[in-house]
Amino acid sequence: MGGTWPDSFYPLVVQGFVELGSPDSQSFSRTILLKDGCLVGQRFECGRIRAVMRMDGHVIEFYGEDRQLLRVVALAAEGEMT
């Protein structure tokens, strides 16, 4: 993959937040997800929308405040949407 994971995917996360109506898509929090001391993914929160990107997957999943799945963005090998 190009870039440093997940830095190369930040623009896709921001784009998703914008398209889903987050008021300030440039200001979001990031949480490192660990399991048994190993990095398994990251969660991003912007307003009431969350995005999850797992290390073993090739998608970014966006969820609403009641945990409903709003969108899935598939990633190509170089971090681009498919």
What digits encode the pLDDT tens for the residues 23-64?
A: 776 688 999 999 999 999 999 999 899 999 988 878 999 999
pLDDT band at 9 (very low <50, low <70, confident <90, very high): confident
Longest dimension (CA), the chain: 35
Q: Is residue 1 part of a domain?
A: no
Higher pLDDT, 17 or 78: 17
When mean pLDDT is compared across 3-17, 33-47, 65-79, the lowest value belongs to 3-17
Query: Is 29 within a domain?
Result: yes
80 domain-assigned: no
Asked, for residue 82, whether it belongs to a domain, the answer is no
Count of domains forming the chain: 1
Report if residue 40 sits inside a domain: yes
pTM: 0.79
- Please tell me the distance from the alpha carbon of residue 53 to that of residue 5, in angstroms, as a whole number: 10
Residue 81 lies in a domain: no
Host domain of residue 39: 7-74
Asked, for residue 79, whether it belongs to a domain, the answer is no
61 within some domain: yes
